[in-house]
Structure 1
């Protein structure tokens, strides 16, 4: 996946129309949503979306009074969807390296998207690349 895609996160009001407003603002700014979701817990809606043009998205949202917006680099990889336990196995590999996964979701192309501590990003990218290489070898 292109390095241009990043995770954009923001707290949204827990009310009808919040997600619609979020989507309209980003769409109006020409920012594409490539995966993600919104989860509400105890009255707070937390949005995490994989986007192109993250800084443009931040500016548009904050100009409309939505924010603060957090932008994070992501790690992406493919899991063998037909093999049960892949999420657990990969997550365990990351945990064994002492890396905590802060956010996990999927993109529109069926890739796993992770946000980890920025200080551990390079190591997690290495682990994901090794996982992908092993998966590719199994399918060769």
Structure 2
């Protein structure tokens, strides 16, 4: 299983570096991430395997960079061609599955999806 971990940082130089250093020191590989800033804060979404989730939580807590939310997500391989994302998103939409988070991963063409109905989303994209 994969988890999306949401961390809120101060919007200042070095915070993302510190987050990466803390995760690295804990032996946690970040499989993907997305980061956005606004209103003086940074919102970071990190993709980690479930077997490293607690290690990441503990390391971030010790560094006073607490986890706001950790939730199960699913990661789908996507063809590296025009329209591929649209096709996947359309299949989910046609099954009435709402995507509330999506970002890509490192090392290939894969998309992370979060939804309130993981079971339906997985079933739609598996078949």
Q: Is it true that 1:60 corresponds to 2:70 in the alignment? A: no
RMSD (CA atoms): 1.5
Larger radius of gyration: 1
Runs of 4 or more off by more than 6 Å in structure 1? none
Distance in structure 2 (CA, Å) of the matches to 1:89 and 1:79: 10
* Bigger fraction of residues in strand: 2
After TM superposition, the score normalised by the length of structure 1 is: 0.80
Cα displacement (A) at 1:100: 1.6
Say whether the 8 Å CA contact 1:62–1:69 is kept in structure 2.
no
Correspondence list, 1:1-140, <5 A: 3=1, 5-52=2-49, 53-82=52-81, 84-108=82-106, 109-117=108-116, 120-130=117-127
TM-score when normalising by structure 2: 0.88
Gapped regions of structure 1 (runs ≥ 5): 131-140
CA drift at 1:41: 2.8
User: What is the CA distance between 1:89 and its match in structure 2?
Assistant: 2.2
Aligned length: 124
Judge conservation of contact 1:101–1:115 (CA < 8 Å) in 2.
Answer: yes
